[in-house]
A and B are shown apart, each in its own frame.
Chain A
Amino acid sequence: MLTKERLFRFAPYIVIALFLVLWPPFAGSALVGLLTKIIIFGLLAMTLDFVNGFCGLWSFCQGALFGVAAYTTGILINKFDVSSFWITAPTAVLMSVLVACLFGFVALRVSALYFLVITFALGQLVYSTALKWTPITGGSNGLGGIPYPDFGFPISWSYISYYYLVLVICVICFLLLYRIIKSPFGLSIQGIRENEIRMRLLGYNTWMLKYISFIIGGLFAGVAGILYIHYNAAIAPTQVGVATSGLVWFIIIIGGAGTLWGALLGSAIVALLQYYISIFTPERWPIVFGACFVLAVMFLRGGIFPRLRNLWAKVSQP
């Protein structure tokens, strides 16, 4: 039922949705580009939120899984002249899923911080492969000149039409992840986050649940990787290493883990901070950014999104 109260309660979401749909044609290419990047990294951060915020796995390789798909797309297009999106995208996602299957199998022998260390090391394997396998990956220069996706029918690509493609795909991914979280599977991975031993004694094969969650995280990280390489037109090893895996951690810590929305909000905050601080101090923005991060950890425990949601719940209460 769509009552007036409910409409009011969901008003912020509706305003944001309208903004995301209606605003880009009137904005410049820089801002639309920034927004595209926010959404892509929002999706990548959502995969970490799914894996860590919901399932409680301390993954530090989301950037690598993202990179596997991005590199697969780039290699297919640049080295093998396969341009059709219908071939490159499924192959890239499949590669991310396979790598996630492998990484998960190795890393799930341990838990908590050990899991973080192992996934970090495995992620570095992807980074080193990208860096050293020069004939295929282009070494430290990476791969460049990646065009917009080729759907097999003519589309007048521009930064705006690509933005809408990213928006649609990310909305679909968000809805899928949201659906999974509200399902029996989704509740059981939250049970694992809260208390794994009890879950085992309620009849759940917790290893399998964690493994599947990690692979789902890898799948959507792969989607983000594909969207990113077509957006950025290039990919380099530094973009698939610690920097990206760490960036998504910043995003969910600032935005709020365990909410999905927090990942999107965090991504927007991080990208806007980077963008505007670097206008003022092009060289020293990491210092200011780091300070903001420290302040967020000290004073915004649990992230910004849960606070905003509680605030709005109070305001919108009849």
Chain B
Amino acid sequence: MSVLKVENLSQSFGGLKVLQGVSFSLEAGEKVGLIGPNGAGKTTLLNVLCGLTPPIAGQIYLDGHEVTHLSPDRRVALGLGRSFQINTLFLNISLLDNVLLAVHGTKGTRFQMLRSIAAYRDIHAEAQELLEKVGLWEKRGFRITDLAYGQQRQVEILLALASKPKLLLLDEPSSGLSSGETAQLIDIIRNLPKEVTLFFAAHDMDLVFALADRVVVLYYGQIIAQGTPEEIRTNPKVREIYLGTGGRNA
């Protein structure tokens, strides 16, 4: 069964049609890249998928449930995780608190008021495991503003992973990272469990070709091509509008 099925999704801001009848589906465990030139609607598509902006038409099915009009938190409970292109973190609390919030988000005890958060050993253990995975456990007491940009970027991805999502949406995960940091990011994503479905928007072709089994191309709000990275690389239409004719892959 597909983890995500999208039918005829449309979105517009005023007269601008940002998404026009987008339909596709993601199978469990697939790693799919979303590419397209600036303004193609990639971030809007992710926002609609995670529930931040309701679509004007179309349906979204997450793991068999219709979620088109559900709030983001309900979708997260159904197994969705999302990271942002621009770091969206809790700046004035500690790194550990950031991760604790992320781990706690899908737990039943998140509304508990009269027990200290320090008493939840299992949640601390999960947070520690996550932070150790990226080598930031030593910095757990730091505020986010005191971390380097590359580390903040890792935390951005880490928060999306914390709820152990079935479907992970990443928006430009390597945005602003050095090539060394990108390699580290690719490692983290490759080490995710096999059954996690990944859908990520990217400009960085190296990242797309390193991670994606399949690529979806969005152009002015419409899907104009999808296929394996190899097919997309050689697709004349994609080359014309996206890579440019006679580009570096020619």
Q: Is A200 in contact with B104, judged by CB distance below 8 angstroms?
A: no
Bound: A209/B77 CA distance, A: 16
Complex interface bits, B45-84 against A, C-beta within 8 A gives 1, otherwise 0: 0000011100000000000000000011100110001101
Q: Is A200 in contact with B92, judged by CB distance below 8 angstroms?
A: no
- Chain A CB within 8 A of B190 CB: no
The A176-197 residues at the B interface (CB cut-off 8 A) are: 179-180, 182-188, 190-191, 194-195, 197
Q: Is A198 in contact with B159, judged by CB distance below 8 angstroms?
A: yes
Q: Is A197 in contact with B88, judged by CB distance below 8 angstroms?
A: yes
- Chain A CB within 8 A of B115 CB: yes
Partner of B113, one of A183, A200, A203: A183
- Chain B CB within 8 A of A202 CB: yes
Q: Is B116 in contact with A182, judged by CB distance below 8 angstroms?
A: yes
Residues of A within 8 A of B212 (CB): none
- Chain B CB within 8 A of A204 CB: yes
The B89-124 residues at the A interface (CB cut-off 8 A) are: 89-93, 97, 100-102, 104-106, 109-118, 120
Q: Is A182 in contact with B73, judged by CB distance below 8 angstroms?
A: no
Residues of A within 8 A of B82 (CB): 201
Residues of A within 8 A of B120 (CB): 184
Minimum CB–CB distance for B71 against chain A, Å: 7
- Chain B CB within 8 A of A124 CB: no
- Chain A CB within 8 A of B163 CB: yes
Q: Is B102 in contact with A202, judged by CB distance below 8 angstroms?
A: yes
Q: Is B114 in contact with A183, judged by CB distance below 8 angstroms?
A: yes
Partner of A190, one of B81, B90, B116, B160: B90
Bound: A107/B116 CA distance, A: 30
- Chain A CB within 8 A of B201 CB: no
- Chain A CB within 8 A of B3 CB: no
Q: Is A184 in contact with B90, judged by CB distance below 8 angstroms?
A: no
With contacts A194-B92, A194-B93, A202-B163 known, is A184 near B72, CB below 8 A?
no
- Chain A CB within 8 A of B218 CB: no
Residues of B within 8 A of A182 (CB): 116-118
- Chain B CB within 8 A of A134 CB: no
Minimum CB–CB distance for B198 against chain A, Å: 16
Partner of A202, one of B91, B114, B159: B159
- Chain B CB within 8 A of A232 CB: no
Q: Is B72 in contact with A201, judged by CB distance below 8 angstroms?
A: yes
Q: Is B113 in contact with A205, judged by CB distance below 8 angstroms?
A: no
Q: Is A184 in contact with B88, judged by CB distance below 8 angstroms?
A: no
Bound: A117/B112 CA distance, A: 31
Residues of B within 8 A of A200 (CB): 51-52, 71-73, 76
Bound: A195/B155 CA distance, A: 14
Minimum CB–CB distance for B115 against chain A, Å: 6
The A203-227 residues at the B interface (CB cut-off 8 A) are: 203-206, 209, 212
Q: Is A190 in contact with B93, judged by CB distance below 8 angstroms?
A: yes
The B128-165 residues at the A interface (CB cut-off 8 A) are: 159-160, 162-163
Partner of B110, one of A195, A197, A204: A204
Bound: A209/B100 CA distance, A: 17
Q: Is B117 in contact with A183, judged by CB distance below 8 angstroms?
A: yes
Minimum CB–CB distance for B116 against chain A, Å: 5
Bound: A182/B118 CA distance, A: 8
Residues of A within 8 A of B106 (CB): 202-203
With contacts A187-B100, A187-B101, A203-B76 known, is A198 near B109, CB below 8 A?
no
The A101-151 residues at the B interface (CB cut-off 8 A) are: none
Q: Is B114 in contact with A206, judged by CB distance below 8 angstroms?
A: no
Q: Is B116 in contact with A203, judged by CB distance below 8 angstroms?
A: no
- Chain B CB within 8 A of A272 CB: no
Q: Is A184 in contact with B111, judged by CB distance below 8 angstroms?
A: yes
Residues of A within 8 A of B84 (CB): 198
Residues of A within 8 A of B91 (CB): 194-195
Q: Is A180 in contact with B71, judged by CB distance below 8 angstroms?
A: no
Q: Is A187 in contact with B117, judged by CB distance below 8 angstroms?
A: yes
- Chain B CB within 8 A of A173 CB: no
Q: Is A204 in contact with B113, judged by CB distance below 8 angstroms?
A: no
Q: Is B76 in contact with A201, judged by CB distance below 8 angstroms?
A: yes
- Chain B CB within 8 A of A82 CB: no
Minimum CB–CB distance for A313 against chain B, Å: 14
- Chain B CB within 8 A of A199 CB: yes
Q: Is B113 in contact with A180, judged by CB distance below 8 angstroms?
A: yes
Q: List 20 A-B contacts (CB under 8 A).
A: A179-B114, A182-B118, A184-B104, A184-B115, A185-B110, A187-B93, A187-B97, A194-B92, A195-B90, A198-B90, A199-B105, A200-B73, A202-B76, A202-B101, A202-B106, A202-B159, A203-B110, A204-B105, A205-B71, A206-B73
Chain A interface residues toward B at CB < 8 A: 179-180, 182-188, 190-191, 194-195, 197-206, 209, 212
